[in-house]
Structure 1
Amino acid sequence: MATYAIGDIQGCYRELCQLLDQIGFGDQDQLWLTGDLVNRGPDSLYTLRFVRELGARAVTVLGNHDLHLLAVAHGQRAGSKDTLDEILHAPDRDELLHWLAQQPLLHRDRELGYAMVHAGIPPTWKLKHAERHAREVETVIRSEQAPAFYTAMYGNTPACWSDDLAGFDRLRLITNYLTRMRFCRADGTLELKTKTNADQPPVGYRAWFEHPGRKSPNKRLIFGHWASLEGHCATPNCFALDTGCVWGGSLTALRLQDGTRFAVPSSGYA
């Protein structure tokens, strides 16, 4: 039995199937998925159906594109580059969206010694804080407050954490940390516009995982979201897996038991 973590799929179902063939994914194996199962790629519906049908054999965290799908399904405006219509008009739409809304923002397996989140954990939080705050958002997404949350979810403020934050401001910042973050200051202040590689930060900022005072340096953390890293992260215990399949890169898997990586090239969608 092996556990494989796979980076952002974003509807690249063909490459997912090729990657699973390459690693010899078996009935006793498990998948961890870094989120962004959907959007931009051609086969978001097939991807959602496949992962859902794996049941307990697959664990996925919610990414920003997954949350966007849920928001659009609740009446928020779709983007001009979205490729979500096939899901939104599918006969099993409601079942798929209900399943997606039950997925966590952060997954942790103490036995394996890994945690997984879509974007990252701010340097001022310990892993236990990130777990607790993730649960706050998950509780709302699974409640009658979900439509109001999706209305309030979009935006870049507030940009820095305070325990005094409340309401949708608090939930929005938690969501931005866990699903959108790349660069921040040492105090956790976010900069959400820049999408360059980690060695080209905006002035006064660093990649979230590069801050020397980060509170969770000894926890092994798997993340996606940041395609321009191309899967490279020199920080110990941080494993970047988004290798930009939907942008013409590749789809990457990491075998957690021994750290072996596998990849298949993109069919080309950019």
Structure 2
Amino acid sequence: LESDEEIVHRVSDDPEIVKFMLENLEEAEVQTQEDAIEELGTRVASGQGKNYQLKRANYVIDRYLLPHLHEDDVEEEDVRINKAYYLCRMAEAAFELALYRRQSDDKDHYANKRLKVSGDLMTDLFRTALNKLARDVKYQLERANMRNRQLTVTTVVRSDVLTERLEHPIATGNWVGGRSGVSQLVDRTDYMGVLSHLRRLRSPLSRSQPHFKARDLHATQWGRICPSETPEGPNCGLVKNFAQAMELSQHVDDERELKGELASMGVEGIPEITTDHKPADD
């Protein structure tokens, strides 16, 4: 979204919110899409060459900004316009909060939580290990080429690179991204203890901070989280357990069926921007 009219129209038509928007737009030093990419480039790759800055800025927008909207089989422009709409929706929510028209979101509400189950964690680990293997294969090929050695699979693809990258985190619990205690030895004191351990949840919040709200039992955890099973001491409330009768659903097979279900519940899609838009009367 490049013009001020497009941006304001996409955020809101409310006069009070538009006044907020105009104040922000007047302070903006960027006027064109090219200027915006250059400005982002200086922030994400300061001190680098201009071409690298532009390339890095585009990569960050496509891969790291709102990554849940990124789809490999969708055109880049369509993905970016969806991200623009999403940012505008976020801005509208912030303006509504500033005008006391809505309550602030409850970050402890269970609908606002994201669970990383074993499959997601192993995906992160395997992706890192595979990238490491690819870099090692490239290095071994360059090394063999410089020394004019005959290429063999055993020398180019070292079997221990991938294996060690997978086994070491699982054995120690030190995962990619600086997380620790992800994998643990199962406590087999009794059968119920095993079930409890297999359904354990661990919060990424620091144990040394109070985090009173996060440690409290929230009403939306009813039927999902056990209200009494939690350790004593600094981990109290940060380490929880699933309720024994809770089932975790996975693998939504048909995305169209899910979208149809949302549409039947009244969820509306984002309409296209019209150039002949006229602001609403006061």
TM-score normalized by the length of structure 2:
0.22
Whose radius of gyration is greater, 1 or 2? 2
Higher helix share: 2
